[in-house]
Structure formats: C-alpha cells, structure tokens
Amino acid sequence: MGVLAGRLTGKTALVTGGSRGIGRGIAERLGRDGARVAVHYGSNETAAKETVTAIEEAGGSAFAIRAELGVPGDAAQLWAEFDRQAQGLDILVNNAGIGVSEPFATLQEEEYERVFAVNAKAPFFVTQLGAQRLRDGGRIINVSSGLSHASVMPHLVAYAMTKGALDVFTRDLSKVLGPRGITVNAVAPGIVDTDINADWLRAGDEAWANAASMSALGRVGAPSDIADVVAFLASEDGRWVTGQWIDATGGSLA
C-alpha cells in the first residue's frame, strides 16, 4: 500500500472500460487509495474478474458490471447494473473507448458512427444519468487523447474527432455541475503500453524506439502514468482543478 492509501476511503468510483489497459490501471489505483470500485466491461468478463481480484488482493473493494456501450439503452443498462451493487457515486471515470481501423479516404459510415457512439455519445449519456447519482463534491474524469490537440497521427482523424468532442463536453460540463462542487476534467494519454497497442509497439525494437522517441522523457507510457494523474484529480488535492485538459503524454506534444 502506498503512502496515499486511504485518501479515497468511503468513496465509490465507477471506471468504464475498467477491465483492461489504462482503465484497469485507473481502477487498481483508485482501489489502492481506498475507493470501492465498479469495474465496467463490455464483453471480457474474465478480464473484469481479474481486475476485481487484483484490487481485492491489494486490500481494496471492487465489483464488476457489464454493459455494452454504443448501443441504444447502454447508459440505462450500465446504471441498472451499478444500482444493484452500490448506492451513490463519488467518482466517475469515462475511460471506455475504441479506435478506428481505416484512414480518412476509406473509413466507412458504419465504423464512423460506431466510434462516435462509443467514444462521445456513450460518455455523454452515462454522465447524464450518473450525475443523478453523483454526490455533491464529486469528480468526473474523462479519458481523452493527445490526438485531440495535435495532428501527429492524422490517419486517425475520426478517432481524434471523438476525443475533441469529449474535450468540449468536459469544458462545458464543468460549468453545468460546478454549482454542486463537482469537478470535471479530461486526462489525455499519449502512447501507452497496453494490449490495444501491443501489435505495433512490439513489432520490433525499431517500432518501440520510435514510439518512445515521441515523448520528451524518452519512453513509452505505462497505465500507471495515467492512473496517477486520474487519482490526483479524484482526490481532495484536485478540488480546485476543473474544466481542464491535462496533458499526460509524457511531453509528446511539447
């Protein structure tokens, strides 16, 4: 247990897409800090259960909830699952997201609509219903991307557009919920070593070196790098930060 363990004791958190990658890192960190964590997953129940077990083995409390995002009724299903196991919410982390497989010239309408449904529409309505459960003084943290602020991978334009929408949502929602003492911020990762990026990051030493060179710190990010920033914003220490886009790219945009 770290020196900050317990600072979220008595709090309940929900992390969408919390079973893998950055989401798992965030869920585990919030659990170590004392929060009871709802680990949301869309399809990989095994990964969700593994994350719950990891949190519990570290001395924390967690439970898994399933809801497919990007389909009609997704937010209502998610909160129905949550309500069966918890009452009230203090921290909402909108982390779940998907990428695109095609560049601008060949991207089809179906894939475009799907990435917007998961990355932009779902967080909006998950948060809309979640705000009814969120206690005054709560926290909302949206996981954005460095690509919403810099054209370093222009072939991912549709994905970047979804994160740009999430950034505007973050900014404006901070004013909507500010009177309740609720902070709303976005955290933007750069290249992070997760299974989603594994194929190209581990294609060879050159691929890894090229990815690492994008950061001013000369390495590829880890889920814990992002989770620690989220943990700060979720804590009392982050009480005076709201409506902000936090660059957590390791200086990739410097």
- Looking at the domain that runs over 12-246, which CATH code has it been given? 3.40.50.720
41 is catalytic: no
pLDDT by residue for the chain (254 residues), tens only, comes to 444 568 999 999 999 999 999 999 999 999 999 999 999 999 999 999 999 999 999 999 999 999 999 999 999 999 999 999 999 999 999 999 999 989 999 999 999 999 999 999 999 999 999 999 999 999 999 999 999 999 988 989 999 999 999 999 999 999 999 999 999 999 999 989 887 776 767 777 888 888 888 899 999 889 999 999 999 999 999 999 999 999 999 999 98
Q: 60-84 burial, b if ≥16 CB within 10 A, otherwise e?
A: bebbbbbbebbeeebbebbbebbee
41, 79, 82, 159: the active-site residue: 159
- In the block, tokens 């969120």 appear at 134
**Tokens standing for residue 151:** 């054209």
What are the helix (H) ranges across the chain? 21-32, 45-57, 74-83, 109-116, 122-130, 157-177, 198-201, 205-213, 223-234
Q: What is the pTM of this model?
A: 0.95
Which pLDDT belongs to residue 200? Answer: 66
Closest CA to 9 of 39, 35, 28: 35
What are the helix (H) ranges across 84-222? 109-116, 122-130, 157-177, 198-201, 205-213
d(CA 195, CA 201): 9
d(CA 235, CA 143): 16
Pairing of strands 134-143, 36-41: unpaired
Cβ-proximal residues to 203 (8 Å cutoff; 6+ apart), any chain = none
